[in-house]
Amino acid sequence: MTPGLRKDLALGALAVGLLAVVLFVALQIGAGGIVSLIARIGIFALAALALSFLVTQAGLVSLGQAAAVGLGAYVTLALAERGQSELLVQLPLAALAAAAFAGLTGLVVLRARGVAFIMLTLAFAQMAFFGVAALPAFGGDDGMALAARSTLLGVKVLRSEAGIAVAALLLLGLALAALTLVRHARLGLALRAAMDNERRAEASGINIPHVQLAAYVACAAIAALSGVLLANQADYVSPGYLNWHRSGELLVMVVLGGRRLAGAVLGAALVLVTEDLISHYTEYWKFWLGLLIVAVVLLRGRDLSSLFGRRA
């Protein structure tokens, strides 16, 4: 195990561990609001983590990540409507649906670069948004309530906010460990080489379209898992989950988190905690979040993950 891999794994374990400690304390003191907040942080950090891998490791800045989250939620809704609430069925099918969507659209969007790539991901995500909004069987524009929360081997593990929070942190920890290992494996190194210099990477024998498509599909599948949990926490699914505003929020979390994958967890926590705290006093909480983003940009890379790494 290389020093870089050890450091990334340690930072990931520390980030998820801090959330787990806060969750444990909140459960002990009966702070239901904090438990619910930790659940939301875990859910959105899972989606932001997948986007962070695309951005930092492959240089693919996507504005369509919300499509994968929304598809995961709608698969959960569709299965629940048919009496299938088992997580061992919902999670794989949600990941498969998002992976299929990413695989088909990836054949087109990965031919572009820069702004063109961003706009194509946005366009396909909006197509998915209007597609699900046109489904009357699932409530159309208004969405639809979830028939029943998901179960694990028949046990209602997601019936409470605490159960959702634990499930979210478990999935987040597994995904973070897996993507960290991939980042330091051959696929991750190939993606990094292609991001740094495509011509040199091609000359080295790297099949750039294949490795980028593999990363694009895998990250969509991971984001879909957060959609399953989001549907359970809200007890409701609507086209708003696929809206480009949601993709923008995830991208903000990645920008605030910085270059390390663990930073996506910190970025998600910062955005959601900021919203939870400031929204009690003013509806313009996004103004203050905007100032924070400007500060991060002006600090030229002194993002949360770099500061967190130095403190650790």
User: Which tens digit of pLDDT belongs to each residue from 157-168?
Assistant: 888 899 999 999
Question: Considering the domain boundaries, does residue 158 fall inside one?
Answer: yes
Classified as helix, coil or strand, 145 is: strand
User: Can you give the pLDDT at residue 59?
Assistant: 87
**Structural domain of residue 237, as residue ranges?**
3-243
> Is 147 a member of any domain?
yes
Residue 219 placed within a domain: yes
Q: What is the pLDDT of residues 37-71, one digit of tens each?
A: 999 999 999 999 999 999 988 888 989 899 999 99
Tell me whether residue 162 is in a domain: yes
Of 70, 71, 62, 66, whose CA–CA distance to 93 is shortest?
Answer: 71
Our CA angle for 45, 179, 109, nearest 5°, is 85
Q: What does the alpha-carbon distance between residue 199 and residue 192 come to, in Å, rounded to a whole number?
A: 13
Q: Is residue 304 part of a domain?
A: no
Indicate the angle between helix axes 3-29 and 161-183, nearest 10 degrees: 180
Q: Find the helix packing angle between 65-81 and 87-109, rounded to 10°.
A: 140
Q: Which of 71, 50, 74, 73 minimizes the C-alpha distance to 60?
A: 50
Listed in sequence order, the residues at least 6 apart from 44 whose beta carbon sits closer than 8 Å to its beta carbon are 226, 249, 250, 253, 268, 271, 272
Residue 259: its pLDDT value, please?
A: 81
In a domain, 276, yes or no: no
How many domains in the chain? 1
Q: Give pLDDT, residue 142.
A: 86
Give this prediction's pTM. 0.89
Domain assignment present for residue 290? The answer is no
Provide the pLDDT for residue 312. Answer: 46
Question: Is residue 256 assigned to a domain?
Answer: no
Residues of the chain short of pLDDT 70, as ranges, are 299-312
